[in-house]
């Protein structure tokens, strides 16, 4: 009996010791609760509070063995957003066809370089009188523009008068002397007057053989870069302003630039992706103001590069009208019959700035692929490389774009 009581007392003591141990573990775990900042994990505290860095509320770190309660809100966050969207994306295949296209371009009215003329000085000398006083002054063919004094001209006149007085029968020498005066700039009427009066004129008049308007600066038909290094510096300086009375000029120096305002040239700039499809003889409609359009023909296509971007400059030669002036801005619409090419909808191509990509379906998975694009027309975009007619791509690539698409490199 006594042994049985001792056994019961031992079991009771063991039970009390187990209860006390479990209470001690509970208190120990409670004391070890740790709070941290979601944005700054290095911030750790033993009690709730605010993060000293960002001010966010500290959250308790879960202990080992604790289960996370899955709420509907948390389930939506953890679920992949592409799981449902990818399976519902419509796919298409590129089409190999020909697409007509109307391109709207802008341009400017300038001089027709085929109608730009210059009046040079044939002899060296000093300008005694200048009748051209301002820029864009109208000039007619045969109009006197300046008078020049030249010792070389005076000497040539004396030679002709000497031959007429002392050897009038020597026609060969007389004709050669007359020819020399013509090459020095004297007109036939001036030479005939000299032969009749046999009186030397101190100055010789310079006449304009062209009609138009006077301009200054490097003429459009003679770019500054084309001038040879051996040309006289005075010739280059004379292009910057109008010559004045009292200026000394050299033989061959350009005095005036005459442009014909009736002959105009329209220069249209087209981006390189479109310009390569435009050919000489392509028809275009030019806006001449007042809502009127006029049919014109592209006469010349000039490819060039500006700031690293390819362009094409189209030239249209045009007769001046009431609504077109030098320097005016114009617009035109060019109709292009495209050759057969590969086309996809614009929505299926994503422009990343330096790359254009499409999403190709491979075994029910969409993978980005870099493509080369060309012109655009009627909601379609031309694919010049990187895609085949057998490829299936997402019809609307915007559905597949997320933040990772702009971070991860595309191979």
Mean pLDDT calculated for residue range 258-267: 82
- Residue range 260-277: mean pLDDT, rounded: 75
For residues 388 and 398, state if they share a domain: yes
Q: How confident is the model at residue 220 (pLDDT cuts 50, 70, 90)?
A: very low
358-379: average pLDDT: 82
| Percent over 90 (pLDDT), the chain | 9
- List beta partners, residue 92: 393
Average pLDDT score over residue span 259-285: 77
Is the domain of 255 the same as that of 198? Answer: yes
Taking only the tens place, the pLDDT of each residue in 330-359 is 888 887 766 678 889 888 888 887 788 888
Residue 86, pLDDT score: 47
In a domain, 8, yes or no: no
pTM above 0.85, yes or no: no
Of 337, 357, 392, the position where a domain reaches its end is: 337
Within this chain, do residues 106 and 214 fall inside the same structural domain, yes or no? no
**DSSP codes of every residue in 356-380:** EEEEEEETTEEEEEEEEEEEEETTE
Q: How many domains does the chain have?
A: 3
Looking at the structure, tell me whether residues 350 and 368 fall in a common domain: yes
Do 146 and 245 share a domain, yes or no?
Answer: yes
Residues 121 and 162 placed together within one structural domain of the fold: yes
- Whether 127 and 244 have beta carbons less than 8 Å apart is answered as yes
pLDDT of residue 343: 87
Co-location of 117 and 251 in the same domain: yes
107 and 209 fall within a common domain: no
Start-end of H helices in 169-306: 171-183, 188-197, 233-238, 272-275
Chain segment 281-333, per-residue pLDDT in tens: 778 888 876 677 777 888 888 787 777 777 788 888 876 655 677 777 888 88
The whole-chain average pLDDT of the chain stands at 76
Please tell me the predicted confidence (pLDDT) of residue 143: 92
Is 170 inside a domain boundary? yes
Range of the domain at 355: 86-100+340-407
Strand 144-149 to strand 204-207: parallel, antiparallel, or no bridges (unpaired)? antiparallel
Between the alpha carbon of residue 22 and those of residues 16, 28, 32, 47, the distances in Å are: 10, 10, 16, 23
Mean pLDDT of 128-135: 91
What token pair was written down for 158?
């004396």
- Do 306 and 177 share a structural domain? no
**Selection from 211, 199, 89 nearest residue 142 by Cα:** 211
Q: Measured between alpha carbons, how far is 60 from 62 in angstroms, rounded to an integer?
A: 6
Give me the mean pLDDT over the 242-269 stretch. 87
**pLDDT range class, residue 23, cuts 50, 70, 90:** low
Q: What is the pLDDT of residue 63?
A: 67
- In a shared domain, residues 136 and 191: yes
- Give CA–CA dist 373/343, Å, rounded: 9
pLDDT of residue 238: 44
Dihedral angle, C-alpha 203, 209, 211, 212, nearest 10 °: -70
Torsion (CA) 303, 304, 307, 311 in degrees, nearest 10:
-20
CATH classification of the domain holding 329: 2.40.30.170
CATH code at position 401: 2.40.420.20
Instruction: Tell me the two tokens of residue 42.
Output: 């290095």
The pLDDT of residue 136: 83
Q: What is the pLDDT of residue 404?
A: 46
166 plus 117 within the same structural domain? yes
**Which CATH number belongs to the domain containing residue 187 in this structure?**
2.40.50.100
Instruction: Please compute the mean of the pLDDT values over residues 209-234 and round it to a whole number.
Output: 57
Tokens of 88: 């519902």
Instruction: Report pLDDT for 67.
Output: 57
């Amino acid at each position: 009996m006594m042994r049985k009581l001792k056994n019961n007392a031992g079991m009771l003591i063991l039970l009390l010791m187990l209860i006390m141990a479990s209470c001690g573990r509970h208190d120990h775990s409670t004391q070890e609760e740790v709070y941290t900042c979601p944005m700054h994990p290095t911030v750790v505290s033993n009690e709730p509070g605010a993060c000293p860095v960002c001010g966010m509320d500290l959250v308790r770190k879960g202990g080992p063995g604790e289960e996370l309660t899955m709420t509907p809100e948390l389930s939506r966050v953890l679920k992949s957003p592409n799981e449902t969207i990818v399976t519902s994306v419509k796919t298409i295949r590129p089409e190999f066809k020909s697409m007509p296209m109307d391109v709207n371009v802008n341009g400017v009215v300038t001089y027709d370089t085929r109608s730009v003329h210059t009046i040079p000085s044939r002899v060296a000398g000093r300008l005694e009188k200048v009748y051209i006083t301002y820029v864009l002054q109208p000039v007619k063919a045969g109009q006197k523009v300046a008078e020049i004094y030249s010792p070389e001209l005076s000497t040539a006149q004396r030679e002709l008068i000497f031959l007429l007085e002392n050897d009038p029968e020597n026609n060969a020498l007389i004709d050669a002397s007359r020819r020399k005066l013509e090459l020095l700039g004297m007109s036939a009427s001036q030479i005939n007057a000299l032969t009749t009066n046999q009186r030397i004129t101190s100055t010789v008049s310079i006449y304009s053989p062209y009609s138009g308007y006077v301009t200054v600066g490097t003429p459009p038909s003679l770019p500054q870069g084309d001038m040879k290094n051996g040309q006289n510096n005075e010739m280059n300086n004379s292009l910057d302003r109008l010559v004045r009375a009292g200026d000394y000029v050299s033989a061959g120096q350009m005095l005036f630039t005459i442009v014909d305002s009736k002959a105009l040239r329209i220069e249209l700039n087209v981006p390189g992706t479109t310009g390569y499809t435009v050919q000489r003889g392509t028809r275009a409609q030019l806006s001449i103001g007042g809502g009127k359009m006029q049919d014109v023909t592209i006469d010349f296509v000039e490819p060039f590069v500006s700031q690293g971007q390819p362009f094409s400059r189209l030239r249209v030669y045009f007769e001046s009208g009431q609504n077109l002036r030098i320097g005016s801005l114009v617009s035109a619409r060019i109709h292009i019959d495209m050759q057969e090419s590969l086309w996809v909808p614009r929505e299926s191509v994503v422009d990343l700035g330096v790359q254009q990509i499409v999403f190709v379906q491979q075994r029910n998975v969409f993978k980005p692929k870099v493509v080369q694009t060309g012109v655009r027309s009627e909601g379609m975009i031309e694919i010049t490389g990187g895609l085949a007619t057998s490829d299936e791509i997402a019809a609307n690539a915007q559905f597949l774009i997320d933040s990772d698409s702009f971070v991860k490199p595309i191979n």
